[in-house]
A and B are shown apart, each in its own frame.
Chain A
Amino acid sequence: MSQDRHLILDNCIKCNICVANCPVVKVTDQYAGPKQNGPDLERFRLDEPAAVHPSIGYCSNCKTCDFVCPSGVNVATMNCKAKGEYVALNGAPLRDQVLGRVELICKAAQIAPSIVNWAAGVGPFRAMGEALFGVAAQMPFPRFATKTFLQQFKPKKIAHPKGKVLYYPGCYVNYYTPEVGLALAKVFAHNGIEMVVDDFNCCGLPTVSNGLMDAAKAYGVNNLAKLNRYIKEGYAVVTTCPSCNLMLRQEYHELFDMDTTLVTENTYDAFEYLLMCHEKGQLDRNLKRLPRRYGYHQPCHLRAVGYGVPSLEILRLIPELQVTALDAGCCGLSGSYGFKKEKYPIAREIGQNIVRAVADTGVKQAVTECGMCQLQVNHVTGLPVVHPIQLLAEAYGL
């Protein structure tokens, strides 16, 4: 990546394609839109950082504006920075400060995950949470695993590894769905790839989405230093969460101007990595039949990477497995966004695209990479949702 890439403000020709595709603008009159909050006001912010519109809080950071822009303007980055400016000037409510610091919530919950899970499901507590803190009572919290991924993972020594990867699980897999990380470990070991883990900070994306830029930057500095050490030792960095992936390989640089050259070049989505192994003929093709049908939801932050859906290409290798793309756009949840009382109806309304796609295709179960998307797809449709790596592990009989 060219490290001199900066906010290409003048490339915006005001064509409105970002407005036309913004999922939030479509369903509410509260948001002034990506163009106005982004490149339009950015021109003023160059002189006066206080030129932020209060509606910036309604940007869900789904990044649709970025990847639909034909002129290469990083609208979402401008919006994230603007949100940071707004929060720096006006402060963030306690709720956003807590929701943004996913890592701290998760660490705190580790004291007694089952009690936290129980409390998160109790109606009166949730009603209180909504009344006092503005946390939407109707949006179910994900359930903490009793043991984290890092507690459960046991590294496997491989004699002549075909590759060496450092897995960055992210908060969601580590604390909520360790089975995803464990499935990845099995798939890698099965294919002769050595996988190691380490203790990292949250990637910082939830903090950015809540305008807490200093906290995000601090995470970034720690993570980058550690990742660079591994890469210099010959490890490739692999993620299963599209948001972590995007944060590591693009956002630290775009938001904080950090030098991410090494990390950008050497960070892969798990299926991107597996696809490269497959092309080199290094992937075991001996897969069991999985005579089932799934609806695939593409997370926005995977779309934003612009390389398509590597997982679909790998899943196609599994005999009799049918995966139908739902192609319904953003699920609406956007991490902590849909947990906010005033934004829950927006998130739910955007999610209706998924409901319609599920009805159209008639699928009874879904598959998607992003943990938060899994939560929302399940919330709006009631369907069970898995990560694609779980299907691959199953097809290997692992």
Chain B
Amino acid sequence: MMNKKTDVLIIGAGLSGLLAAAKAVESGKGVTVAAKGMGSLSLSSGCIDLWGYDIDDPQRVCQNPLAQIARLNEVNPEHPYTKVADVLEESLRYFQGLTERYGCPYRDNGGANWLLPTALGTFRPSFLAPPSMALRDLDKAKRIVIVGYEELKDFYPEVMASNLARNGNLPESVKLTVVKLRSAWKKLYATTLAHRLEQAEGIREAVEQIKAHIVDGTVVLFPPVLGERLDIDVTGQLAKALGAPVYEVANIPPALPGQRLQQLLLKHLRNAGVDVIIGCTFTGAKVEGNRCLQVTAEGAGKTFTFSAKTYILATGAFVGGGLDSRIGEAREVIFNLPVRTAEKWASGEFLSMNGHGFNRFGIAVNDRLQPLDREGRVCLENVRITGANLAGANGPIEKCGNGIAVASGYKAGKLAGEVAQ
């Protein structure tokens, strides 16, 4: 049986896993990322949400996410942010630095949340946005042109326009225009269109059909399809040709900003010498005392093992496949770590504003991100837990998923780097 040795093994290729790898490899240690699938980062909006709404008034958008998170110690001490508070700002600066290095500098809004338009014409709070999405002062535009494609599934500019008119608090003087383009390509997925827009014909085709709608003071909004590659600035090319600022709005996957971020981080890991293995399913671990000695994985039906000094569990929760459930029981699938659950798993209401109990399920940790058993003792001292594997957050309601991923991934990578050789 093949055994692969490495200093730090990161299981999972989502945002927290990739960040952990980026940080850990700086210590000079051998780092391997291995995952069952490609990681859900490519399905995300591509923005880093930190904290969306006010703790005391959940209807209000939170004005200062860092200050609100600092309060969690008193109001919700079990929240994962309380375990990573010491590195939160440092990790965000680190993330911004990385993205800047690869030509996609993520922007903050001076400590406040951005309010970014979505494909449904709503506004979502987010803390860091890629340049193609970091849209300020939409209400100061004279005209908003919303661009769709007849051939593109999953984006309906008319829906966005009518909801934007209702939700946007836009002055009456702002004119909303829907432009539905026709492409020479008959069937477009977001990724197909992104590729087409990286070619000169794709840009020409779009510009020819939009140009007539541009007046002074126009802002052009596209679905999130403006190119896949990091070396071509489709947004910039369109803006230049149209003579108006162009932005992408958030939409359901596949959406390119998330894919670009994933690609950027993978490119960085490659440059830094991290091995990335996709397509192996982890099935179990060999443990002695409170240390993990090796983990078992399966690829194309055959079993092999990995052994490392530090294991970082970044496999995600139920959607990512890191946690599994049966009626009345939730379990972590590799190390069989205790999962903290709650009496009430789900709210009766599908879109309840209190969220569902299962979203808070996860693994309890100490402030070194080591997993704890029900008595609060460390169960595996050379395992660290990150991202959606952590117990206590309510991501869909609090809008904190990627923020926790960045901070916990960074911290786990840093701690793994400090382990003695």
Chain A interface residues (CB < 8 Å from chain B): 1, 5, 13, 15-17, 19-22, 25-30, 32-33, 66-72, 246, 249-250, 253, 260, 264-265, 272, 275-276, 279, 303-310, 313, 325, 327, 356
B residues 70-129 touching A (CB-CB < 8 Å):
none
CA distance A309 to B275 in the complex (A): 9
Specify the chain B residue showing the minimal Cβ separation from A264: B301
Is A15 in contact with B191, judged by CB distance below 8 angstroms? Answer: no
CA distance A305 to B185 in the complex (A): 34
Is B280 in contact with A307, judged by CB distance below 8 angstroms? Answer: yes
Known: A306-B280, A308-B275. A25 touches B42 (CB 8 A): no
CA distance A325 to B273 in the complex (A): 9
CA distance A44 to B412 in the complex (A): 45
Select which of B270, B279, B300, B302 is within 8 A of A327 by beta carbon.
Answer: B270
Query: How near does chain A come to B33, taking the closest CB pair, in angstroms?
Result: 10
22 of the cross-chain contacts (CB-CB < 8 Å) are A13-B319, A17-B42, A19-B189, A20-B191, A20-B259, A21-B38, A27-B192, A27-B195, A29-B192, A67-B37, A67-B38, A67-B278, A70-B37, A249-B302, A264-B302, A275-B2, A304-B279, A306-B298, A307-B277, A313-B4, A327-B266, A327-B267
Question: Known pairs A246-B300, A308-B277. 14 more at Cβ < 8 A?
Answer: A1-B301, A15-B43, A20-B38, A21-B38, A26-B194, A67-B37, A67-B279, A68-B37, A68-B278, A69-B37, A70-B39, A276-B1, A276-B2, A309-B275
Instruction: Enumerate chain A residues within 8 angstroms of B185, measured Cβ to Cβ.
Output: 29
Known: A67-B37, A72-B36, A306-B297. A16 touches B275 (CB 8 A): no
Known: A17-B37, A69-B37, A264-B302. A310 touches B2 (CB 8 A): yes
Specify the chain A residue showing the minimal Cβ separation from B3: A279
Select which of A26, A29, A264, A308 is within 8 A of B186 by beta carbon.
Answer: A29
Instruction: Enumerate chain B residues within 8 angstroms of A70, measured Cβ to Cβ.
Output: 35-40, 316, 319-321
Query: How near does chain B come to A348, taking the closest CB pair, in angstroms?
Result: 14
CA distance A27 to B197 in the complex (A): 11
Is A28 in contact with B192, judged by CB distance below 8 angstroms? Answer: yes
Instruction: Enumerate chain A residues within 8 angstroms of B316, measured Cβ to Cβ.
Output: 70
Instruction: Enumerate chain A residues within 8 angstroms of B321, measured Cβ to Cβ.
Output: 70-72
Instruction: Enumerate chain B residues within 8 angstroms of A15, measured Cβ to Cβ.
Output: 40, 43, 253, 319
Is B304 in contact with A307, judged by CB distance below 8 angstroms? Answer: yes
Specify the chain A residue showing the minimal Cβ separation from B256: A20
Specify the chain A residue showing the minimal Cβ separation from B321: A70
Chain B interface residues (CB < 8 Å from chain A): 1-4, 32, 34-40, 42-43, 151, 185-192, 194-195, 228, 231, 253-254, 259, 266-267, 270, 275, 277-281, 297-302, 304, 316, 319-321
Is A306 in contact with B2, judged by CB distance below 8 angstroms? Answer: no
- Nearest 6 pairs of A and B residues by beta carbon: A306-B299, A67-B279, A70-B37, A1-B301, A306-B279, A306-B280
CA distance A48 to B321 in the complex (A): 31
Query: How near does chain A come to B267, taking the closest CB pair, in angstroms?
Result: 8
Is A308 in contact with B4, judged by CB distance below 8 angstroms? Answer: yes
CA distance A250 to B299 in the complex (A): 10
Known: A17-B43, A71-B321, A265-B302. A306 touches B277 (CB 8 A): yes
CA distance A79 to B297 in the complex (A): 26
Instruction: Enumerate chain A residues within 8 angstroms of B275, measured Cβ to Cβ.
Output: 308-309
Number of A-B contacts (CB under 8 A): 136
Is B300 in contact with A33, judged by CB distance below 8 angstroms? Answer: no
Instruction: Enumerate chain B residues within 8 angstroms of A17, measured Cβ to Cβ.
Output: 37-38, 40, 42-43, 253-254
Instruction: Enumerate chain A residues within 8 angstroms of B42, measured Cβ to Cβ.
Output: 17, 20-21
Instruction: Enumerate chain B residues within 8 angstroms of A356, measured Cβ to Cβ.
Output: 231
CA distance A16 to B195 in the complex (A): 17
CA distance A258 to B99 in the complex (A): 48
Instruction: Enumerate chain B residues within 8 angstroms of A19, measured Cβ to Cβ.
Output: 189, 191, 254
Q: Which of B275, B300, B316 has the most CB of A within 10 A?
A: B300
Instruction: Enumerate chain A residues within 8 angstroms of B188, measured Cβ to Cβ.
Output: 29
Known: A68-B37, A308-B277. A253 touches B301 (CB 8 A): yes
CA distance A33 to B34 in the complex (A): 26
Instruction: Enumerate chain B residues within 8 angstroms of A250, measured Cβ to Cβ.
Output: 300-301
CA distance A17 to B316 in the complex (A): 15
Instruction: Enumerate chain B residues within 8 angstroms of A310, measured Cβ to Cβ.
Output: 2
CA distance A30 to B1 in the complex (A): 43
Is A66 in contact with B279, judged by CB distance below 8 angstroms? Answer: yes
Instruction: Enumerate chain A residues within 8 angstroms of B39, measured Cβ to Cβ.
Output: 70
CA distance A67 to B275 in the complex (A): 16
Instruction: Enumerate chain B residues within 8 angstroms of A29, measured Cβ to Cβ.
Output: 151, 185-188, 192
CA distance A279 to B151 in the complex (A): 54
Q: Which of B39, B192, B267, B298 has the most CB of A within 10 A?
A: B192
Instruction: Enumerate chain B residues within 8 angstroms of A33, measured Cβ to Cβ.
Output: 189
CA distance A394 to B419 in the complex (A): 39
Is A304 in contact with B189, judged by CB distance below 8 angstroms? Answer: no
Specify the chain A residue showing the minimal Cβ separation from B151: A29
Instruction: Enumerate chain B residues within 8 angstroms of A308, measured Cβ to Cβ.
Output: 4, 32, 34, 275, 277
Instruction: Enumerate chain B residues within 8 angstroms of A72, measured Cβ to Cβ.
Output: 36-37, 281, 321
CA distance A30 to B184 in the complex (A): 12
Is A325 in contact with B270, judged by CB distance below 8 angstroms? Answer: yes
Is A26 in contact with B37, judged by CB distance below 8 angstroms? Answer: no
CA distance A244 to B300 in the complex (A): 13
Query: How near does chain A come to B172, taking the closest CB pair, in angstroms?
Result: 38
Instruction: Enumerate chain A residues within 8 angstroms of B151, measured Cβ to Cβ.
Output: 29
Is A20 in contact with B253, judged by CB distance below 8 angstroms? Answer: yes
CA distance A392 to B12 in the complex (A): 32
Query: How near does chain A come to B276, taking the closest CB pair, in angstroms?
Result: 8
Query: How near does chain A come to B40, taking the closest CB pair, in angstroms?
Result: 7
Instruction: Enumerate chain A residues within 8 angstroms of B279, measured Cβ to Cβ.
Output: 66-68, 303-306
CA distance A66 to B301 in the complex (A): 13
Instruction: Enumerate chain B residues within 8 angstroms of A30, measured Cβ to Cβ.
Output: 187
CA distance A15 to B259 in the complex (A): 13
Instruction: Enumerate chain B residues within 8 angstroms of A22, measured Cβ to Cβ.
Output: 191
Specify the chain A residue showing the minimal Cβ separation from B196: A29
Query: How near does chain A come to B261, taking the closest CB pair, in angstroms?
Result: 12
CA distance A272 to B3 in the complex (A): 10
Is B2 in contact with A307, judged by CB distance below 8 angstroms? Answer: yes
Specify the chain A residue showing the minimal Cβ separation from B14: A70
Specify the chain A residue showing the minimal Cβ separation from B259: A20
Query: How near does chain A come to B254, taking the closest CB pair, in angstroms?
Result: 4
Select which of B40, B297, B300, B304 is within 8 A of A249 by beta carbon.
Answer: B300
Is B195 in contact with A306, judged by CB distance below 8 angstroms? Answer: no
Instruction: Enumerate chain B residues within 8 angstroms of A264, measured Cβ to Cβ.
Output: 300-302
Instruction: Enumerate chain B residues within 8 angstroms of A325, measured Cβ to Cβ.
Output: 270
Instruction: Enumerate chain A residues within 8 angstroms of B253, measured Cβ to Cβ.
Output: 15-17, 20
Instruction: Enumerate chain B residues within 8 angstroms of A279, measured Cβ to Cβ.
Output: 2-3
CA distance A21 to B32 in the complex (A): 21
Q: Which of A25, A276, A304, A309 has the most CB of B within 10 A?
A: A25
CA distance A27 to B37 in the complex (A): 22
Select which of B38, B191, B266 is within 8 A of A26 by beta carbon.
Answer: B191
Query: How near does chain A come to B258, taking the closest CB pair, in angstroms?
Result: 8
Is B187 in contact with A32, judged by CB distance below 8 angstroms? Answer: yes
Query: How near does chain B come to A298, taking the closest CB pair, in angstroms?
Result: 10
Specify the chain B residue showing the minimal Cβ separation from A69: B37
CA distance A26 to B228 in the complex (A): 9
